[in-house]
Amino acid sequence: MKVLVFSISVGSLLMANLALAACPSGSETLFFCNTQKGNKQLEVCDAGKTISYSFGKKGQKPELAIAVPRSKASTWQWQGIGRYMSYSVNIPNSDYNYNVFWSVDRVTEEHAIEAGVNVEKKGKLLTTLLCQEKGLINNLEGVDLKPAE
């Protein structure tokens, strides 16, 4: 009976870790959020030599998990001009590009934040998935990647 209790406890811990969707040990979370629709999570991790992107339902194996060499990923960094302070990272995958973004409207009193991912195929926007503000992690500012074209 003690073995069964231990197995259930270990299983519960593993599921809790899946639900948190933390970047692997030795890598930095550049971005994490829960989507507004579909009860899904998206995450971008910096493992030094690679940048990874994962997307899927909470507590389950990701629907999409890709890692690209750092030299293939790119970033857009706010230049200090304009109403919207914004940062993004592009993760290419064959004909697709995952543009993970974070932006804040500096002029409004609410300082409304918009964050999510633009999914593109051959340069054409297929969809945009927006994030919930609650639980959002944004470390895109200052990321050391080549500038986006």
106: confidence class by pLDDT, cuts 50, 70, 90: confident
- Lowest mean pLDDT across 13-22, 86-95, 99-108: 13-22
| pLDDT in the model for residue 21 | 52
Average pLDDT for the chain? 86
Q: Residue 65: enclosing H or E segment and its boundaries?
A: strand 64-69
H-only helix segments in 54-102: none
pTM: 0.82
Burial letters 36-45, b for 16+ CB under 10 A, else e: eeeebbbbbb
